[in-house]
A and B are shown apart, each in its own frame.
Chain A
Amino acid sequence: SAVISQKPSRDICQRGTSLTIQCQVDSQVTMMFWYRQQPGQSLTLIATANQGSEATYESGFVIDKFPISRPNLTFSTLTVSNMSPEDSSIYLCSVEASTGTGGGQYFGPGTRLTVT
């Protein structure tokens, strides 16, 4: 399985500011995913990021609020813009395992965001 790292691991931010979260993978992957986990909730997919194309956003998530970059096959960023306390969540990136391993997804350690 891929080794995934995220930066920062946690942050406390003021409302109205923006935070960019980085996700680095130790191998080249086609698809990267960004999820949000609000307190006490399960995971919700924000968007899918493919290298060389715009991210595909799920219903309820928009590019202006959650811009995503995918400059190469091992790296992606998610920005949480104009934050409010409702954005306090754990943000996780994940990748699909390489072909031949049955298509499992593997997750980074997450970024714990608190907005005050």
Chain B
Amino acid sequence: KQEVTQIPAALSVPEGENLVLNCSFTDSAIYNLQWFRQDPGKGLTSLLLIQSSQREQTSGRLNASLDKSSGRSTLYIAASQPGDSATYLCAVRAGYKLSFGAGTTVTVRA
């Protein structure tokens, strides 16, 4: 069974600081890995999708890396802003199923 772990569980930083969010998974036989953002009480917004054959993906201030052999992914958010405050979820896909981590709750202080 795939186990997905996200560290840290919570993070508070001053505005402008770079964010580093970690995700690890136990079974490296994945199809892809997806990072999501969730605002309180809301649905999930897809941020980045990395295929198993890729090493990283970038979108604006966001960059995600994937090391499939070691079962790790890292999401970097550059120059954080108060609007980045949310919970960030990592999900790995094997077959058609997504396995989610518990998330990292980020607070960016103005």
8 Å CB contacts to B: which residues of A100-116? Answer: 101-110, 112
Known contacts A48-B96, A102-B51, A104-B49, A109 near B43 by CB under 8 Å: yes
> At the interface, yes or no: A42 with Cβ under 8 Å from chain B?
yes
Chain B contact residues (Cβ within 8 angstroms of A): what range? 20 to 34
Interface residues in A, total, Cβ within 8 A: 25
- State whether A96 touches B43 (Cβ < 8 A): no
Determine which of A31, A101, A102 lies in contact with B96 in the assembled complex, contact meaning CB atoms within 8 Å. A31
Q: Given that A1-B46, A102-B49, A105-B34 are contacting pairs, would A42 and B100 also be in contact in the complex, using a CB cutoff of 8 Å?
A: yes
A12 in the interface (beta carbon within 8 A): no
A6 surroundings in chain B (CB, below 8 A): 43
Besides A102-B49, A106-B46, 6 more A-B contacts (Cβ < 8 Å) are A42-B103, A43-B44, A96-B96, A105-B91, A110-B41, A110-B43
CB within 8 Å of B: which residues of A? 1, 6, 31, 33, 41-45, 48, 90, 92, 94, 96, 101-110, 112
What residues of chain B have their CB less than 8 Å away from a CB belonging to chain A? Answer: 31-32, 34, 36, 41-46, 49, 51, 89, 91, 93, 96-98, 100-103
Which are the 4 A-B pairs with shortest beta-carbon distances?
A: A107-B44, A109-B43, A104-B49, A110-B43
